[in-house]
Structure 1
Amino acid sequence: MGSSAKKKREKKADFQKTKLKVGKTKAKAANFTDTSFKAKSIVLNQQSLSTAAPSIDQQFAHQLSLASSKTDSQRRDAINYLTNTITERPNNLPLPVATILPKIQPLILDASNSVRAALTKLLRALPPAHVATHVDHMLLYVRAGMTHLAAEIRNSSLDVLEWLLQTAGQELVSCAGGWLKTLHCFLTLLGWHSATQPGNWSSERAVSFGKPGSAASKLLIKQLNILTMFLRAGFTDADASGNPAAANASCFPLCSAEHQLLYARSNPFRGLNLFGAPKDAENAMYDDAEARKRAFDDATVRTVARGVSAAKKEGGEIGRAASGLEKALLDGMGEFHRDTE
């Protein structure tokens, strides 16, 4: 049985037709990689092995470079690492603030809420004394955030502005565009801008205050409170003394010596703009409180007064915030305040 079956298979194989392959072999792709080889180890070029771990300064610089990564989680983790390192070493930063701020300030406009929240913590951890000279560059991103289409970015940019006012308020209101341009951003944010173009039948845009306790209402209260901080900083001089007579008596026989001294800050004559391009009133620098009061009185005092009057009628927390803003106007303007009714 077994031998006969084997013979039948062999006999059948003799009559089977062999399939022949005709034509050329298909060409290999341009990116073809031959993987038929076998190797016991793979050697990488430029591979460095060291027993010493990277220093804290090197790790800090690496994490700072990851702050501009495309991944939200990677940016957030990098910012958190920078915050922890700065908190542990506040007096011995791995990198100067002048190197850190240009890398992180674009994150004010970041689309991720967690990244912006981490950025706010990082900014508050920086040494305040090193921030004053970089306020003008930070303010560019803050103003862009204040007028952003996304409400979350507008809200977080106000947090950064509040930190700047607490850290370097005088530098903020006295830098180029820091006074009137930022004030006009507030007016746009609050909807208090007057329509000055000829032919417009409406003089002002309607403002929606929102229901009490709503997100729009809370945002409006925050805007009014930070505007109050901004105006108080602008209406006050950095070296204002409560008792000028006592100050003059302390430096006898010199009288009013503070008016004869140069600024302690760098570039004391920057307000003269001797070598720069001509600037309009909005982008000008107002170094002293009197100049800022005059510019405010000429430009927006009536618009702000009408907006405050409308906000006070709402009552509640909005009314209290508007009353605080009105008190800042009355205390700050003094003889510059005119009848706006």
Structure 2
Amino acid sequence: MGSSAKKKREKKQDFQKTKLKVGKTKAKAANFTDTSFKAKSIVLNQQSLTAAAPSIDQQFTHQLSLCSSKTDSQRRDAINYLTNTVAERPNNLPLPVATILPKIQPLILDASNSVRAALTKLLRALPPAHIATHVDHILLYVRAGMTHLAAEIRTSSLDVLEWLLQTAGQELVSCAGGWLKTLQCFLTLLGWQSSKQEQAAGNWSSERAVSFGKPGSAASKLLIKQLNVLTMFLRAGFTDATSAEDAGPANASCFPLCSTEHQVLYARSNPFRGLNLFGAPKDAENAMYDDAEARKRSFDDVAVRAVARGIQAAKQEGGEIGRAASGLEKALVDGMGEFHRDVE
């Protein structure tokens, strides 16, 4: 009974005529908004309702605070803004370098490649004259980046170290821990055992073979960069702030006084900091080596044999690695002079 009634209704629907609407459509309301469009983003031309726009100094301070943002793109855009502002006003910065560096130097260990690349551009845009007094703090993050697990962070940290050597090389190798501690960091990266590590190992051979990698690979490029930056580091350490060529005309101009630069006080602040009169006692790695003679003696005691063996192993690879090792060998021979006996 139920099925026959259902069939009758379905049959009746086949013969029903649909009614067509004729006439004008209903007018739209006055406050009607068309929402049929699609957009990925909405850009507002005016985001501030205040009549006076913020000054450049205020914008610079705001962008500097965004360097610690959780978003990678926001950190990158903030650093790019700081770079453009510093490039436009190198002699009249909105904030002193002593305020800028503590905010941006933790980004040396940032996980984003674009953020670290932008940071390197910002550091190179800063006035070089204001970097010397902050080298020891930057070097802490650089050494942490050089020993990082990620190869990209190790590479970008070497870029920052290269910039430091070009900007304030003498301050880097003469600050507390700047010479031996950084040198031990290089030896650890390259797998070259120092004399202390050899004594700790005893008669057992604990020297780790360096992974050179295939020519053109990421490991090979990283090794070449490490050798080149180590060459720059050794050249800066084996050279005094005032060379003999610069001291010659000065001595001739003040005749009959000779070698007056060795009797006067340092021009920089805290000239007796190397004596560490009021600080805690420091070990050899954290000590300060103000002159090239002291750095050469410490290098001869700690790392000269390990570096000489590592150079010979790298030269056997040939190619770009061999050329980088040859440049390192030349810097070692030229700098050490009578101290060096193993490479010659």
TM, length-normalised to structure 1 = 0.84
Q: CA deviation at 1:248?
A: 2.0
Which string of whole-angstrom CA distances, capped at 9 and with x for unpartnered residues, describes residues 125-151 of structure 1? Answer: 000000000000000000000000000
RMSD over aligned Cα atoms: 1.5
Q: Which residue of 2 aligns with 1:242?
A: 245
Amino acid in structure 2 at the alignment position of 1:270 = R
- The 5 A counterparts of 1:157-168 are 157-168=157-168
Query: Could you say which residue in structure 1 is the equivalent of 2:178?
Result: 178
- Kindly state the Cα deviation for residue 324 of structure 1 after the two structures are TM-superposed: 0.3
- Are residue 258 (structure 1) and residue 261 (structure 2) matched? yes
2:278 and 2:235 map into 1 onto residues whose CA distance is 31
Deviation string 1:186-221 (CA, Å, 9 cap, x unpaired) is 111111125432457323111110111111111111
Runs of 4+ in 1 over 3 A off after TM superposition: 243-247
Aligned amino acid, residue 169 of structure 1: G
Q: Secondary structure at the match of 2:289?
A: coil
Aligned twin of 2:212: 209
Q: Within 2, Cα distance between the matches of 1:133 and 1:205?
A: 37
Greater mean deviation of Cα atoms: 257-266 or 156-165: 257-266
Q: Deviations over 1:7-58 (max 9, x none)?
A: xxxxxxxxxxxxxxxxxxxxxxxxxxxxxxxxxxxxxxxxx95311000000
- The answer on 1:76 being equivalent to 2:76 is yes
Q: Match for residue 290 of structure 1? A: 293
Residue segments in structure 1 that go unaligned for 5+ positions in a row: 1-47
Q: Distance in 1 between matches of 2:246 and 2:275?
A: 29
Show the counterpart of 2:191. 191
Residues 1:245 and 1:100: Cα distance change in structure 2 (over 3 Å): closer
Deviation at 1:249, TM superposition (A): 1.7
Taking a change above 3 Å as real, the CA distance of residues 254 and 317 of structure 1, as seen in their structure-2 partners, is same
1:275 aligns with 2:278: yes
2:329 touches 2:343 (CA, 8 Å); kept in 1? Answer: no
Aligned equivalents of 1:315, 1:103: Cα separation in 2 = 42
Equivalents in 2 of 1:223, 1:167: separation in Å?
18
| One-letter amino acid matched to 1:261 | V
Partner of 2:232: 229
- The alignment-based identity, stated in percent, is 88
1:316 aligns with 2:323: no
Cα displacement string for residues 72-104 of structure 1 (whole angstroms, at most 9, x for unaligned residues)? 111000000000000011110000000000000
Supply the distance in 2 between the matched residues of 1:289 and 1:114 (Cα, whole angstroms). Answer: 38
CA offset at residue 238 of structure 1?
Answer: 0.6
Counterpart secondary structure, 1:115: helix
Counterpart AA for 1:115: V
Shift of 1:247: 3.5
Q: CA deviation at 1:251?
A: 1.1
Confirm or deny that 1:301 pairs with 2:304: yes
Structure 1 position 242, deviation (Å): 2.0
Residue equivalent to 2:144: 144
* Number of residues of Structure 1 aligned to a counterpart in Structure 2: 294
Letter in 1 for 2:162: E
Structure 1 residue 244, shift from structure 2 partner = 5.1
Unaligned 5+ segments in structure 2 are 1-47
TM normalised by structure 2 equals 0.83
Q: CA separation in 1, counterparts of 2:192 and 2:282?
A: 25
Which residue does the alignment assign to 1:16?
none
Matched, 1:114 2:117: no
In the alignment, the residues of structure 2 paired with residue 172 and residue 79 of structure 1 have an alpha-carbon distance, to the nearest angstrom, of 25
Letter in structure 1 aligned against 2:70: K
**Alpha-carbon distance in 1 for matches of 2:242, 2:213:** 41
Instruction: Give the whole-Å Cα distance in 1 for the aligned partners of 2:179 and 2:193.
Output: 16
Task: Give CA deviations for 1:112-136 in whole Å, capped at 9, x if unaligned.
Answer: 0000000000000000000000000
| SS of structure 1 residue aligned to 2:244 | coil
For residues 264 and 198 of structure 1, the distance between their equivalents in structure 2, rounded to whole angstroms, comes to 44
Output the CA distance in 1 between the equivalents of 2:153 and 2:191: 17
Alignment of 1:321-340 (within 5 A): 321-339=324-342
Q: Does residue 105 of structure 1 match 2:105?
A: yes
Distance 1:200 1:116, change over 3 A: farther
2-side partners of 1:208 and 1:155: how far apart? Answer: 16
Distance 1:311 1:63, change over 3 A: same
Whole-Å separation in 2 of the counterparts to 1:200 and 1:58: 63
Q: Secondary structure at the match of 1:242?
A: helix
